[in-house]
Structure 1
Amino acid sequence: MNLAHEVRKELTDRIIPFWKQLRDDEHGGYYGYMDFDLNVDKQYEKGCILNSRILWFFSNAYMTLKDKTLLSEADHAYKFMRDCCEDKEFGGVFWSVSYDGKPLDTTKHIYNQAFAIYALSSYYAASNDGGALEFAMDLFDKIETIGTDSYGYLESFNRKWELEDNDKLSENGLLADKTMNTLLHVLEAYTELYRVNKDEKVKTALVKILDAFKNQVYNEKTNRLEVFFDEKMNTISDLYSYGHDIEASWLLDRACTVLSDEKITAETHEYTNALAEEVYKEALDNGAMNNECFKGVVDTTRVWWVQAEAMVGFYNCYEKTGEEKYKDITEKLWAYIKKYIIDKRPGSEWFWDLDRDGNPVSKKPIVEPWKCPYHNGRMCMEIIRRIS
């Protein structure tokens, strides 16, 4: 199997053309919804997380492939973010806007701000647009001044940056004050921001987050990351998120690579190896990844992003350890994705999820505020970068 060649072809022949076709030249940004039957709703709300992820995707696709049409797509996404997603009055980025760019859900969530930083940092690297970096640093300063307390990162705020219930990132019947998911994507965002600007404030924050993962989020007894926390970072659930753990295993390593601190890298690798090995033992099922385990009950749904992140996470572990089993499972996951997850219908991309038998029974949308080219596109680019 020529894995790098195959994922490059998937990126160039399916994922990129699919998202290019969703460009909205009338109202800006990209259309926010395509149902399972491939009908595009051009008047559906436009999620600002979706737009950030599209901006990140096209910026990195341009840097990977050197195709100038991809930078044009990134320019288009950036303009929509500046014109419509940014709150010019109170600062920060909205949760969503209407199809024609008017504020809709004005929640200010730290998760959302983090994805904007991630995207803007990559766009700056692709375009050398200083305004994008300035925007990213403004969001960084907003998070660090308003979005933290003595225990960690706060999460959900209203438009005026007043704290509110964190219902957007809570699930399984819980209302969590703090989540591993938000912290992980703040780490991801700060990693990219520090990579492009080497600002000491960002470095300090990044080191602090790595410390929080090691000492508060990682459970050394179970070799997994805790998911939901109260305001003081005490865990409040028995949830094992296989996809987030394998994703975190390589994003934490990536942060260490960018920091270039030998001590932190050694400490982090010790438990990210354990994280990946535990997922390898617990989550794999007939060449695919199960979704999660809640209170001892395994959800066998095959979710698109979980398969994609597992490919990167296991290949990353292969690079560190040299253990062939991690390379082998990466190739098996790709074989599963090719056979089942990729939607072969013309004009489509990847299914959201499948049942254990490989059938898309949920018929969830092909595009909506959470379904984007970030996980599968990033997987392709990471594999290309690591193997080529």
Structure 2
Amino acid sequence: MAEMLPSLMVPTSSWLRSTPHRYWLEYQGLRLLDFSKASRLNDGFGALDNQGKLVPDAQPDTTLTARMTHSYATAAIRGLPGCRMLAAHGVQSLLGPLRDAEHEGWFGGLTNGRPTETQQHKQNYLHAFISLAASTAVVARLPGAAQLLEQATSVWETHFWSEEEGVFRESFQADWSCEEDYRGANSNMHSVEACMALADVTKNPVWRHRALRSAERFIHILARDSDYAVREHYDRNWTYLADYNRTRPTDDLRPYGLTPGHFVEWSHLLLKLEAALLRESGTAPEWLLTDSIALFEKGIAAGWSRNGRPGLLYTVNNDIEPAVENRPHWVQAEALTAAAALLKRTGNVKYETWYQTLWDYIDLYMIDRHNGGWLQELDGENRPSEVVYAGKADLYHAWQSTLTPLLPLSPSFATAVQALF
């Protein structure tokens, strides 16, 4: 079934229709893929420094391994040399040393060949990315991919999905005891992405409807009630934790306050979910579009150029005042992806303006033409910074932003790439 959305409404003058712009996106994406190839370790993938070399005593990180597997598997679908072998290495690492053979599930990483006590904790954020990577590996027809997908979905469904709440639980001890008293918007946001991929790859719509339930609670109920300022931190009774991590404002996964980059990331996920539901049955809740528009507007208003300098900042407090003014690269990448999605969905030229503005900012401030890759973070003055993110470990956000704008809103990322390439 063709995508049942008015993509033809994109203005003829849009960069999305420009052949030179498409070539530019392709070139930037290839640069990012080549830069990150150095992150391969024997048991997975590790972090790179700003020069593109493995950091001293680099250790395999499982979230990074899952993201690299997803990215290079998608690149392999496109026929880009070297990527298939890297993705296959990721699959084997996830099937082997990074997996908890005793209790099932996955360690957060390894330190000198063994997981530390902290690394043995089972995190939903990580397992969402493993499920995403497994689904992409199946699309790429990688050895062991079907086995990894079966293991990942079984663990994720059994231990993390809460049918009663319609969301994913957050974390457990190594043996699945002692569930954390926490419900997090961040891990559920990435779970929505993974669920849509699983629905396309497994042909099981239950995953798509789990994505809808999670989005409905976190966005249509909770965020809408706070004027679309997405609150991140709740306890298991759904009490908002307004002061959560107040003493750790630069935490890389659960910072204090609100994250405007997540407002816009949710924005494009809602449009992709709407498109996926339309493909499935021809109907989708109207709030997916209206909430998406509201989230983008709120995210830009809360985060863009709050100190008079361009860039979308990291966090704001509960009064929507700047908390951490540093500009992470992923925030800009998700904002431009949302602008492109809204442009394709609505045809409104203001989203074209934002799409161009965000790419201009990334091009002039974040693309590192000397060392390669993107600077992962800038400070409030748009100078290189490493307060939140050190080095250049992340390929996932930046690389997807060079390809997603050219894809339909549905099916999901790897399945859409397979259909087009």
Report the TM range for the smaller structure's normalisation: 0.7 to 0.9
Q: Does residue 213 of structure 1 match 2:218?
A: yes
Which stretch of structure 1 is more off in the superposition, 230-239 or 317-326?
A: 230-239
The 5 A counterparts of 1:114-129 are: 114-127=128-141, 129=143
Query: For 2:265 and 2:152, how far apart are their aligned partners in 1?
Result: 24
1:312: Cα distance to partner?
A: 0.2
1:125: Cα distance to partner?
A: 0.5
1:247-283, CA deviations, whole angstroms, 9 ceiling, x for partnerless residues? 1111222233233344434231121111112223332
Aligned pair partner of 2:97 in 63, 84, 89: 84
Residue of structure 2 in register with 1:313 after alignment: 338
Q: Secondary structure at the match of 1:45?
A: coil
Query: For 1:11 and 1:135, how far apart are their aligned partners in 2?
Result: 27
User: Does the 8 Å CA contact 2:38/2:54 hold for their aligned counterparts?
Assistant: no
Residue of structure 2 in register with 1:22 after alignment: 39
For residues 201 and 21 of structure 1, do their structure 2 counterparts lie closer, same or farther at Cα, with a shift above 3 Å needed?
same
Q: Secondary structure at the match of 2:39?
A: coil
Q: Secondary structure at the match of 2:316?
A: strand
Residue of structure 2 in register with 1:170 after alignment: none
Residue of structure 1 in register with 2:189 after alignment: 184
Residue of structure 1 in register with 2:10 after alignment: none
Which stretch of structure 1 is more off in the superposition, 210-219 or 44-53?
A: 210-219
Aligned pair partner of 1:349 in 363, 367, 373: 373
1:153-208, CA deviations, whole angstroms, 9 ceiling, x for partnerless residues? 3211121111254xxxxxxxxxx611100111111111111111112442442343
For residues 21 and 146 of structure 1, do their structure 2 counterparts lie closer, same or farther at Cα, with a shift above 3 Å needed?
closer
Percent of aligned positions that are identical: 21
Residue of structure 1 in register with 2:397 after alignment: 375
TM-score, scaled relative to structure 2: 0.80
Query: For 2:354 and 2:345, how far apart are their aligned partners in 1?
Result: 15
1:287: Cα distance to partner?
A: 4.0
User: Does the 8 Å CA contact 1:53/1:115 hold for their aligned counterparts?
Assistant: yes
Residue of structure 1 in register with 2:8 after alignment: none
User: Does the 8 Å CA contact 1:223/1:275 hold for their aligned counterparts?
Assistant: yes
For residues 316 and 87 of structure 1, do their structure 2 counterparts lie closer, same or farther at Cα, with a shift above 3 Å needed?
same
User: Does the 8 Å CA contact 1:4/1:383 hold for their aligned counterparts?
Assistant: no
User: Does the 8 Å CA contact 1:71/1:127 hold for their aligned counterparts?
Assistant: no
Aligned pair partner of 1:358 in 374, 382, 385: 382
Q: Does residue 161 of structure 1 match 2:176?
A: yes
Query: For 1:196 and 1:142, how far apart are their aligned partners in 2?
Result: 17
1:213-269, CA deviations, whole angstroms, 9 ceiling, x for partnerless residues? 344432245123221111122322283311011011112222332333444342311
Query: For 2:156 and 2:87, how far apart are their aligned partners in 1?
Result: 24
User: Does the 8 Å CA contact 1:7/1:384 hold for their aligned counterparts?
Assistant: no
Q: Does residue 300 of structure 1 match 2:355?
A: no
Query: For 1:294 and 1:240, how far apart are their aligned partners in 2?
Result: 6
Relative to its length, the structure with more strand (as a share) is 1
1:74: Cα distance to partner?
A: 0.8
Query: For 2:262 and 2:379, how far apart are their aligned partners in 1?
Result: 19
User: Does the 8 Å CA contact 1:349/1:366 hold for their aligned counterparts?
Assistant: no
Residue of structure 2 in register with 1:241 after alignment: 259
Q: Secondary structure at the match of 1:248?
A: helix
Residue of structure 1 in register with 2:276 after alignment: 258
For residues 146 and 40 of structure 1, do their structure 2 counterparts lie closer, same or farther at Cα, with a shift above 3 Å needed?
closer
Which stretch of structure 1 is more off in the superposition, 228-237 or 114-123?
A: 228-237
1:87-142, CA deviations, whole angstroms, 9 ceiling, x for partnerless residues? 1221111111135x43341111111111100111011111165x423432433332
User: Does the 8 Å CA contact 1:305/1:375 hold for their aligned counterparts?
Assistant: yes
Query: For 2:262 and 2:231, how far apart are their aligned partners in 1?
Result: 10
Query: For 2:206 and 2:359, how far apart are their aligned partners in 1?
Result: 39
User: What is the root-mean-square deviation of aligned Cα atoms in Å?
Assistant: 2.4
Residue of structure 2 in register with 1:73 after alignment: 86
1:270-310, CA deviations, whole angstroms, 9 ceiling, x for partnerless residues? 21111112223332215421222113331321111001111
Query: For 1:49 and 1:242, how far apart are their aligned partners in 2?
Result: 22
User: Does the 8 Å CA contact 1:155/1:178 hold for their aligned counterparts?
Assistant: yes
Q: Secondary structure at the match of 1:289?
A: coil
Residue of structure 1 in register with 2:6 after alignment: none
Residue of structure 2 in register with 1:280 after alignment: 300
Residue of structure 2 in register with 1:138 after alignment: 151
1:68: Cα distance to partner?
A: 4.2
For residues 187 and 11 of structure 1, do their structure 2 counterparts lie closer, same or farther at Cα, with a shift above 3 Å needed?
same
Query: For 1:37 and 1:379, how far apart are their aligned partners in 2?
Result: 22
1:51: Cα distance to partner?
A: 0.2
Q: Secondary structure at the match of 1:96?
A: coil
Query: For 1:259 and 1:124, how far apart are their aligned partners in 2?
Result: 22
For residues 123 and 306 of structure 1, do their structure 2 counterparts lie closer, same or farther at Cα, with a shift above 3 Å needed?
same
Q: Does residue 102 of structure 1 match 2:124?
A: no
Query: For 1:52 and 1:353, how far apart are their aligned partners in 2?
Result: 22
User: Does the 8 Å CA contact 2:94/2:148 hold for their aligned counterparts?
Assistant: no
Which stretch of structure 1 is more off in the superposition, 273-282 or 305-314?
A: 273-282
Residue of structure 1 in register with 2:358 after alignment: 333
Q: Secondary structure at the match of 2:44?
A: coil
Report the count of equivalent residues.
367
Deviating beyond 6 angstroms after TM superposition, the runs of 4 or more aligned structure 1 residues are none
